[in-house]
Amino acid sequence: MGLLHISLCTCVCVCVPRDVMAGSATAVGIVGYGHLGSYFSKSSLPLDYEGSSAEPFPGRDSATSTSAAVPPAGQYLVGRILAEGHEAGLRLAFVWNRSPERLRGSVPEELILEQLSDFPERSADVIVEVCHPQVVKDFGEMFLAHSHFLVGSPSALSDPQLNGQLRRAAVHHGRTLYVPSGALWGGQDIQRLSESGLLTGLSLRMCKHPSCFRLEGALRRNWVEGEGRRLLFRGSVADLCPLAPNNVNTMAAAAIAASSLGFGGVEGELVSDTGLSEYHVLELQITGVDGFSVTTVRRNPAQLGAVTGSATFRSFWSSLLVCRGHGGTVYLC
């Protein structure tokens, strides 16, 4: 993939690392707990941003458009580390949120980071971003100067300049830039085909209930229950990422695995379907030389209004367990 060799992990070893056996747990900093950072403009925030005057789900009666009772990724990870961190060899170094008061009562006071720029004082071994691509842009290089970095918004890497900056920072500081596989299955196979020069095409179709999308610009649209299936976007993942930064992280991970194609060479589709009230559906089509092809369909249980399916949270936890340091590289986990 140019500057760096990419490794890919699709499973988690149950063995306890030697440093954990010695009593040295991995210190984890969580960036993002509930809603997004205070420095984002409203125009850059998803429609469920606290304080926004926009309807939670455009086109639907707000009285019936409650979001799913699924905790944000930051809350999920913090809760699991507090409950299971000792057994998993993890401990919290800090938790940052745009509104620190949201953390009080749920997170120990000594773990609350008031200013994100003060993160070096907490000496985290790995920093986990679970809020918005803008954090990756603004702090990614700084994070890598001090810690390994698990980027929960890999759609940010569709920006070639930022992508290159973070790769160079990883090499320079000997830190690992981790990219979670999320809802992507078969990433290792995609990578092998790509590195062997046998991958000729990769396309992904993400189908969700319209309440589960957080879209930007021209993709933001009204909808009505019962309207059925509608194509929202078809084109390169490079073009799609800025329009749906919170919905296409799986596609971004696929583009990173398919290094020979890159973000510009991987095709993505977004489909709105009011019939999908219980699942998100990801369809993946891989093509190779001599007529080779693979098609997969993944159904991820999800409630109405949930941007992320429930299985993806468990996948993210598994990804975090892998983040023990793999040198100055990009590592899909």
Domains of the chain: 6-184+312-332 (3.40.50.720), 187-307 (3.30.360.10)
Inter-residue long-range contacts of 84-89, CB under 8 Å, 24+ positions, other chains counted: 85/25, 86/25, 88/321, 89/16, 89/17, 89/19, 89/20, 89/25, 89/26
Position 271: which residue type? V
Q: What is the pLDDT of residues 90-121, one digit of tens each?
A: 999 999 998 888 899 999 999 999 999 999 99
The pLDDT score that the predictor gives to residue 37 is 29
Pair 255, 223: CB distance under 8 Å: no
Position 330: which residue type? V
Pair 68, 302: CB distance under 8 Å: yes
Inter-residue long-range contacts of 295-300, CB under 8 Å, 24+ positions, other chains counted: 296/185, 296/186, 298/183, 298/185, 300/183
Higher pLDDT residue, 311 or 231? Answer: 231
The pLDDT score that the predictor gives to residue 178 is 96
Q: How confident is the model at residue 275 (pLDDT cuts 50, 70, 90)?
A: very high
3-state secondary structure of 170: helix
- CB burial readout 274-285, b (16+ within 10 A) else e: bebeebbbbebe
Burial class of residue 217, CB neighbours in 10 A (0-12, 13-18, 19+)? exposed
Position 61: which residue type? D
* pTM passes above 0.85: no
DSSP state at residue 197? T
The pLDDT score that the predictor gives to residue 218 is 77
Q: What is the largest CA-CA distance in the chain?
A: 60
Pair 264, 184: CB distance under 8 Å: no
The pLDDT score that the predictor gives to residue 185 is 86
How far apart, in Å, are the Cα atoms of 247 and each of 1, 88, 183, 212?
24, 29, 11, 9
CA end-to-end span of the chain = 17
The pLDDT score that the predictor gives to residue 288 is 97
DSSP state at residue 107? B
3-state secondary structure of 64: helix
Residue 21 has pLDDT above 90, yes or no: no
Cα(330)–Cα(333) distance, integer angstroms: 10
Q: What is the pLDDT of residues 164-194, one digit of tens each?
A: 999 999 999 999 999 998 888 888 899 889 9
DSSP state at residue 104? B
Cβ of 227: how many Cβ atoms within 10 Å? 14
How far apart, in Å, are the Cα atoms of 129 and each of 1, 29, 67, 110, 257?
23, 9, 22, 20, 20
Q: How confident is the model at residue 71 (pLDDT cuts 50, 70, 90)?
A: low
What does pLDDT average to over the chain? Answer: 83
- CB burial readout 117-151, b (16+ within 10 A) else e: eebeebebbbbbbbbbbbbbbebbbbbbebbbbbb
